[in-house]
C-alpha cells in the first residue's frame, strides 16, 4: 500500500500517524468486501480519519452514503472538524444532523410539527392554485374581449373554481400553520443549499442561518440530505428502528446503501438497551382513563376496564413492596422495585390477572387500541383545523399498546419486567411506572448490522473482540487493535498493591488509611494536576475529606452528582496544582480530554463495578442463557464493561507524543503478582495483552519514589522536587 492509494484523496493532512496507513488499508479492503470492522485504537491512532477516509472512498466508488455517529458531544465536534478539513482537499457533500427538538424555531413536538407541515403545505398549494387560476382568468378575459365567445364560458368556469379555492384558503388560514415552513415553500431556497455545502455546517449554524431569514432550518436540512456523501448524527438515528427508517428515507438511501461508522462503540451496548426498552407511567394510565370517561364511544367501557385493572395492579405491586420507612425514603429519581419470580410470571402480571374481571383481556385491549387510534385521529384533526393550540397525544393508545406488549412479550428471553417508583417534587406524591427492559442489545443492533452494507465500530476500549461480536450480534467481523503510539518512555502505568477495595472492606479505617496515603503520595509527587477516579461519588467524597484533613498541598476539587462538571473542570485545569476527585461513572471519565499540562497523573482507586441491582442480574442471566455459560453473564455484563470504564479513565492523560504522565491503578486486583492469591477476583487478565504487559506492579510505599524518579528523569518539576 502506498500514499497514492485512491482513498488518500480524502486524507486532509500531509502525513498519517504511525499505523494509520495500515488501519486505513485494512478498513478499505474490508469495506470493499462489505465486511464489518471492529477497530480499537488508543489516543493518537487517528481512529476517526482511519475509518472515515476509506469509508468515503468506498462510498464514492459504489454510490453509497457514509453515516458516522456518536453519543459524545466532543466527538461530534471532532467529526465536523475532520469533515471540514476533508472538503478542502476533496469536495464532499456533508450534513450534520440533530433531532427536531434542538432545531425547532417555535418549539413544538413531533406530532404537532407533522400536523403543522401538512396544514402549511395544503395552504401554500392552495395559494399557488389560486395564483395560477387568477392568471388563467386574466388570459381568458383578454381572449373574450377580442371576440372569442368560448373564452367567456371558460372564464366563468375558472371563476367558479377560483371562488372554491378562495373558500378553501379562508378555511385553511384559520388552521394552525408554521410560518417558518411556509416561507420554505414560498421562497427560493437555492441559496441555502449553496451555503450548506460550501463547508460542513453544524446544526447551530443551520439554525442561525434559518432563524435570521424566518425559515425552517430543520426541514431545509432534511431536503438537503438526499444523496449526500456523509452524514454526522447521534446514535438514536440508527439505533431506533422507527427513526432509522425515516432517516434513511431522508437520505434517499436503502439500508444496503449505508456504511455506518460508530464512534465510542463501547457505548453502543447500553444505548441499544435504552432505545429498545419501553415504559408507561401511572400518570399515563390516569390520563387514559380520563379520556375514556370523557368520550361516549361504546368501546370506552372495555378500554377503561382493562386499563384501570392494570393501573390498580401497578399501585398494589409497588405499595406491597414497601417495608418500614421505605415510602419516606423515595426520592425524585426512579427507583426499581423487584417484581420477578423464578417459577412464575412477575408480581405485576399476577396482580393484574387478579384485578381484572371482564369478557377477556385480549378483547378489551383490542377495543382500547381501536378507541385510542380513533381518538388520536380526532386530536390530529382538531390541531390541523386550529381547534386546539397543541397537538394532544392520545394516552389511551399509548397505555393500551404498552399493556399489550407487557402481556405478550414480558416473558420472552432477553426482556425483563420492572416496576419503578418516584416522588413528584411539586406535589410530594409517589407514583410508579412499568417497564420492559431489554437485556440483550443484539436484538436491536443485530438487525441493523444485517440491514446496512457494512459497519465500522471504533473505540479505544472495544476489546475483547469476541465479546463485542456476541453482545452486538456481529458475524465474522474484521478486527484490529493499535495501542498507544506515543513514546513508551514518557509514561508509566502502575498497578499499586493497596488493599483490594471490596465493598465489605471500604469502611475499614486501616484500609482507608493505606489507600489515602497512596493517593496523597501520588498527588504530592505529581508536577501539576492529578485526576482521581473512584467506584462512586460517595468514595470520592470520603477521600476528598481525608485529603483536606491531611497535609496535602494541592487544591482539592470534588465532582458531585447533579452538579455541572464543566465549570469545575475549567477551574481545576487553570489551577496547575490541583487534585480532582470524581466517580468513574460520572461525566469526566470519557469524552473529556485533559491535554498537555491539564493533568499529569490519573489514578483509578478500586475496581469500579457498577451497582449490581436486579437489572444487572437480569442482564447476567440473559447472557448466561444466550451464550451457554454460567460465568458468561458476569464476564460479559459486569467485569468487561467495568474494565473498559477503567481503561477509558486511564486515557484521560497522555494525549500527545510530547506529554509526560503517570497512570496508576490502586487495588491489588489489578496486579499481576496477586493473581494467584485472588483467583477469580483478579481483573488483571481482563485487560488486553499489551496493556497488561505495560502494567508495573508496585508496593504502595514505593509509589512516591517511582514517580519522583520518573518525573525527575523528564525534568518535569519546576525547581526542587518534593522530598520523599
DSSP letters, 396-455, are HHHHHHHHHHHHHHTTSTTEEEEEEEEE-TTT--EEEEEEEEE--THHHHHHHHHHSSEE
CA atoms within 13 A on the CB side of 145: 6
Q: Cα-flanking dihedrals φ and ψ of residue 176, to 5°?
A: -75, 130
Report pLDDT digits (tens) over 570-582: 999 999 999 999 9
Q: How far is the CA of 147 from the CAs of 64, 72, 98, 140, in angstroms?
A: 60, 73, 60, 11
| Closest of 515, 518, 555, 521 to residue 535, by C-alpha | 515
Contact 309, 364 (CB under 8 A): no
Q: Calculate the CA 518 to chain-centre distance.
A: 36
> Distance (Å, rounded) from C-alpha 399 to C-alpha 289?
10
Beta carbons of 301 and 358 less than 8 angstroms apart: no
Specify the pLDDT at position 148: 64
| Pairing outcome for strands 661-666 and 601-605 | parallel
The total of other beta-carbon atoms located within 10 Å of residue 720's CB is 6
Is 581:548 a contact under the CB 8 Å cutoff? no
Strand order of the β-sheet with 415-423 is: 278-281, 430-438, 415-423, 335-337
Block residue for cell numbers 395564483? 131
CA–CA gap between residue 317 and residue 341 (Å, rounded): 13
Below-50 pLDDT ranges, the chain = 1-3
Q: What 3 state SS string does 29-69 have? A: HHHHCCCCEEEEECCCCCHHHHHHHHHHHHHHHHCCEEEEE
Residue 580 contacts residue 526 (beta carbons within 8 Å):
no
Residue listed under C-alpha cell 372569442: 148
How many CA atoms does the CB half-sphere of 315 hold within 13 Å?
A: 13
CB 624 within 8 A of CB 633: yes
**Residue whose entry in the numeric block shows the C-alpha cell 453482545:** 471
pLDDT for res 209: 94
CA dist., res. 456 & res. 443, Å (int): 19
Is 318 within 8 Å of 418 (Cβ atoms)?
no
Displacement of CA 399 from its chain's centroid (Å): 26
Amino acid at each position: 500500500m502506498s500514499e497514492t492509494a485512491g482513498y488518500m484523496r480524502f486524507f486532509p493532512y500531509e502525513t498519517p500517524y504511525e499505523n494509520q496507513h495500515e488501519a486505513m488499508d485494512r478498513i478499505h479492503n474490508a469495506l470493499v468486501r462489505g465486511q464489518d470492522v471492529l477497530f480499537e485504537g488508543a489516543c493518537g491512532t487517528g481512529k476517526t480519519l482511519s475509518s472515515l477516509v476509506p469509508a468515503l472512498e468506498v462510498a464514492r466508488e459504489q454510490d453509497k452514503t457514509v453515516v458516522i455517529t456518536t453519543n459524545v458531544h466532543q466527538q461530534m465536534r471532532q467529526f465536523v472538524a475532520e469533515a471540514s478539513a476533508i472538503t478542502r482537499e476533496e469536495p464532499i457533500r456533508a450534513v450534520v444532523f440533530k433531532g427536531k427538538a434542538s432545531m425547532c424555531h417555535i418549539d413544538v413536538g413531533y406530532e404537532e410539527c407533522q400536523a403543522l407541515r401538512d396544514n402549511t403545505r395544503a395552504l401554500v398549494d392552495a395559494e399557488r392554485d389560486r395564483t395560477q387560476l387568477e392568471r388563467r382568468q386574466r388570459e381568458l378575459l383578454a381572449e373574450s374581449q377580442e371576440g372569442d365567445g368560448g373564452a367567456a364560458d371558460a372564464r366563468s368556469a375558472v371563476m367558479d373554481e377560483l371562488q372554491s379555492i378562495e373558500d378553501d384558503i379562508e378555511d385553511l388560514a384559520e388552521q394552525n400553520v408554521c410560518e417558518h415552513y411556509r416561507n420554505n415553500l414560498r421562497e427560493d431556497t437555492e441559496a441555502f443549499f449553496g451555503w450548506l455545502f460550501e463547508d460542513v455546517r453544524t446544526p447551530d449554524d443551520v439554525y442561525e442561518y434559518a432563524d435570521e431569514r424566518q425559515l425552517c432550518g430543520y426541514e431545509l436540512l432534511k431536503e438537503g440530505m438526499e444523496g449526500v456523501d456523509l452524514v454526522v448524527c447521534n446514535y438514536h438515528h440508527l439505533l431506533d428502528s422507527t427513526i432509522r427508517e425515516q432517516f434513511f428515507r431522508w437520505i434517499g438511501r436503502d439500508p444496503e446503501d449505508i456504511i455506518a461508522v460508530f464512534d465510542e462503540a463501547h457505548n453502543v451496548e447500553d444505548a441499544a438497551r435504552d432505545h429498545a426498552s419501553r415504559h408507561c407511567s401511572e400518570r399515563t394510565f390516569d390520563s387514559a382513563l380520563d379520556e375514556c370517561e370523557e368520550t361516549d364511544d361504546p368501546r370506552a367501557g372495555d378500554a377503561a376496564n382493562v386499563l384501570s385493572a392494570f393501573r390498580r395492579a401497578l399501585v398494589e405491586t409497588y405499595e406491597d413492596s414497601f417495608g418500614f420507612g421505605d415510602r419516606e425514603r423515595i426520592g425524585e429519581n426512579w427507583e426499581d422495585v423487584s417484581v420477578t419470580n423464578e417459577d412464575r410470571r412477575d408480581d405485576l402480571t399476577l396482580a393484574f390477572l387478579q384485578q381484572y374481571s371482564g369478557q377477556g383481556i385480549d378483547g378489551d385491549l383490542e377495543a382500547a387500541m381501536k378507541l385510542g387510534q380513533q381518538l388520536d385521529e380526532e386530536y390530529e384533526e382538531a390541531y390541523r383545523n386550529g381547534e386546539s393550540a397543541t397537538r394532544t397525544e392520545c394516552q389511551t393508545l399509548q397505555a393500551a399498546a404498552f399493556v399489550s406488549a407487557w402481556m405478550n412479550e414480558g416473558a420472552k428471553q432477553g426482556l425483563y419486567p420492572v416496576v419503578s417508583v418516584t416522588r413528584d417534587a411539586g406535589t410530594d406524591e409517589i407514583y410508579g411506572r412499568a417497564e420492559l427492559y431489554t437485556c440483550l442489545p443484539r436484538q436491536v443492533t443485530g438487525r441493523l448490522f444485517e440491514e446496512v452494507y457494512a459497519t465500522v465500530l471504533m473505540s479505544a476500549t472495544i476489546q475483547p473482540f469476541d465479546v463485542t461480536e456476541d453482545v452486538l450480534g456481529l458475524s465474522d467481523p474484521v478486527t484490529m487493535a493499535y495501542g498507544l503510539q506515543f513514546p513508551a518512555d514518557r509514561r508509566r502505568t502502575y498497578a499499586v498493591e493497596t488493599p483490594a477495595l471490596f465493598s465489605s472492606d471500604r469502611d475499614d479505617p486501616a484500609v482507608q488509611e493505606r489507600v489515602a496515603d497512596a493517593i496523597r503520595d501520588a498527588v504530592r509527587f505529581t508536577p501539576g494536576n492529578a485526576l482521581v477516579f473512584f467506584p462512586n461519588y460517595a468514595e470520592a467524597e470520603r477521600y476528598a475529606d481525608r485529603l483536606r484533613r491531611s497535609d496535602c498541598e494541592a487544591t482539592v476539587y470534588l465532582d458531585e452528582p447533579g452538579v455541572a462538571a464543566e465549570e469545575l473542570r475549567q477551574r481545576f485545569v487553570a489551577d496547575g496544582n490541583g487534585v480532582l476527585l470524581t466517580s468513574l461513572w460520572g461525566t469526566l471519565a470519557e469524552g473529556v480530554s485533559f491535554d498537555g499540562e491539564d493533568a499529569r497523573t490519573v489514578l483509578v482507586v478500586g475496581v469500579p463495578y457498577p451497582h449490581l441491582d436486579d437489572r444487572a442480574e437480569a442482564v447476567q442471566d440473559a447472557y448466561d442463557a444466550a451464550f451457554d455459560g454460567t460465568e458468561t453473564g458476569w464476564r460479559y455484563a459486569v467485569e468487561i464493561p467495568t474494565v473498559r470504564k477503567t481503561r477509558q479513565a486511564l486515557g484521560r492523560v497522555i494525549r500527545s507524543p510530547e506529554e509526560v504522565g503517570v497512570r496508576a491503578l490502586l487495588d491489588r486486583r489489578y496486579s499481576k503478582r496477586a493473581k494467584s492469591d485472588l483467583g477469580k477476583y483478579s481483573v488483571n487478565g481482563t485487560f488486553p495483552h499489551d496493556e497488561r504487559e505495560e502494567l508495573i506492579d508496585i508496593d504502595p510505599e514505593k509509589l512516591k519514589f517511582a514517580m519522583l524518579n520518573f518525573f525527575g528523569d523528564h525534568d518535569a518539576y519546576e525547581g526542587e522536587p518534593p522530598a520523599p
